[in-house]
Structure 1
């Protein structure tokens, strides 16, 4: 009886060992599932609901190498046959996927099709640099891209500032991961209000600092704009409050990123 009992216990233990699965860490599972697309070769990428992060627990990566200095525009839309509007998050990384170059969670929502802020995103890039866009899709989504080459002639120093001619629009590039500064100079030949017009495409924030010679006279944070915005500069009397034009002379604009998570481009002019 005792011998039979021992044989039975041995058989049960052997069966338990056979049915216990191999333990795989969550990290291993994600590495096996992560999908990468060449965004240079594939201008349009569709992530199915089954391949979304919500369903698979895996990110999708879009690799892109810039052929020139310029900006990449990424557009989100609903794929054919979608039963719900595409939702999720984007993030821009460097060539090793090790350095975050944007906000960690840029939210997209294709339900707001009339407002580009929710489905169109812009990233500034340098020539021959490779980047990765990480997609954390909550459901099925279609992602397309266009690239626009930009010839930014602004000065890197105040002493090298580019002359901004009246009513002439200039385009400036703010590349991801680079702390560059764009300088412009404006010459007022008479006392007047200085009207600045700007259009910004970024998922972060730019900063424009205005100088009268070497003296700082104002700072303006510039976020994404759906159209052209106007900023008017003038003098105001401390006693009467009367508003008058700026004195004639030379003024400077310095435009840079407000934080390390910002990139994209801007357009600016004055009159």
Structure 2
């Protein structure tokens, strides 16, 4: 198999950092942050795709773009939908068009928020989209823009992402465990925690399949941690991994923490499409969390 070069817009976020960690051997990862590659600047996007395509051609490697750039501030998007639209729709549309013009495959990362969040079984890729937030609406529109661009493109939806880069639920719980005697966490929202390192490995496997002419037939896939839990159950597991008493995590209802954007009550993503594509399933969320905490507990305690 020829070498692989990934261009990862949004590369300084938690997913981008974990993709960079996979660089080595036949895999090269270029991961510019928004300061270096702003998807709202069309000229810069076109130039970046032209550059990576030229480099791949001259070096004998195969290029793939993995778009990890997004506006992800769910509550703020309710009052900044125009900005969210620019980053989550216009940017991916330009990126996909540039990829199409240079015949560079694109993997676009999306979210569980494109669904209504009122299901009673794990969501499949073909389920109807019904976003209830500005963030979800812009991400759904971004999917449409990518899939309608003519590019060789795949959508990978994920959920409840955490890692060592940026802010996330695991880091917040680790901080609160040190600061408070008890912590109240909602127990009426269900999802699938996903370690960004596991998702990064899955995206690399997908990219490898694409350049090896074994690309999945289905264009929308779900890549999330196996199994499901609530935020309350997730928090208790984090406390346990920290060696703290999980009973310090108290259950509460979402209504006790109202915000500008409603959170989905149920956003578990089925991995049936991922398995059907022949891709390695992401680990059960408990197993992934245990390894993450084993590796990073010291940093979380001092951070």
TM range (shorter): under 0.3
For normalisation by structure 1, the TM-score amounts to 0.26
Q: Which has the higher helix share?
A: 2
Task: Normalising by structure 2, report the TM-score.
Answer: 0.24
Q: Looking at CA atoms only, which structure, 1 or 2, has the larger radius of gyration? A: 1
> Hey, which of these two has a bigger chunk of strand by percent?
1
